[in-house]
Amino acid sequence: MAQVTLQVFRGDANGGEFVDYTVEVDEGQVVLDVVHTVQATQAADLAVRWNCKAGKCGSCSAEVNGKPLLMCMTRMSTLDVSQPISIAPIKTFPLIRDLVTDVSFNYEAASQIPAFAPCAPNADDGTYRMMQQDVERGQEFRKCIECFLCQNVCHVIRDHPENKPNFLGPRQFVHLAELEMHPLDTADRTEFIRKTGGIAYCNITKCCTEVCPESIHITDNAIIPLKERIADKYYDPFRWIFSKLTGRD
């Protein structure tokens, strides 16, 4: 058992500061365990969001020593406990109190996405058939736990919040990629992705991929393919000429 000092942000939208708490750390504990110890012994009013404590709900996102992480999946043994450990709320979204932020932007963005529109059954028995490779491609995107760490590190909205009305962010591009690449979907979302989604704002720095706790290849497998679809439809001169001559996209 060792002692560690946590520098936890305390405050709300009107301001705040880091407050030091010294607590005992047991072997095998994660950051969320230690935060709960602080809450139980020294700061009963500390606001922190969590749910499953198993890395599947995405609720306990925070910035630990400046790095966007899930507190429930960050073992204390991976940190230098001889030095104070800072714990701050994720930066990109409005602060409610202490470690809790208002992430409703993400749900409002998701509500704008055109829903899945399945084709008619494509098998003789009235059911659907899909190739296994198509099934596997979509499974990667469905691993998202909506921790919003990808949204948090996206500099398009982190450093320029004025872009939020025009940019849905990487989490929503993962959702859009899942729909667009589904072999049974019939909706055309390219105009939505281009205008409402604002995918052109993304300059593929891959910061979103780097922080994803589910190791989703957000940039390579979701954003870049969506960008390619936009480029093919709107900026390919040969396709533009073909559509003008034939009247087909």
What angle separates helix 224-235 from helix 237-246, to the nearest 10 degrees?
50
Instruction: DSSP letter for 113, please.
Output: S
All residue ranges of the chain with pLDDT < 70 are: 1, 248-249
Contact 149, 68 (CB under 8 A): yes
Question: CATH 1.10.1060.10 in the chain, residues?
Answer: 104-246
pLDDT of residue 248: 66
In the chain, CATH 3.10.20.30 covers: 2-101
Structure tokens at 141: 């995107």
CA-nearest of 149, 157, 186 to 70 is: 149
Tokens of 23: 């607590």
pTM over 0.85: yes
Q: What residue type is 145 in one-letter code?
A: I
pLDDT tens digits, 39-88: 999 999 999 999 999 999 999 999 999 999 999 999 999 999 999 999 99
Other Cβ atoms closer than 10 A to 3: 10
Helix (H/G/I), strand (E/B), else coil: 15:
strand
Domain 2-101 CATH superfamily: Beta-grasp domain (3.10.20.30)
Q: Does domain 104-246 have CATH number 1.10.1060.10?
A: yes
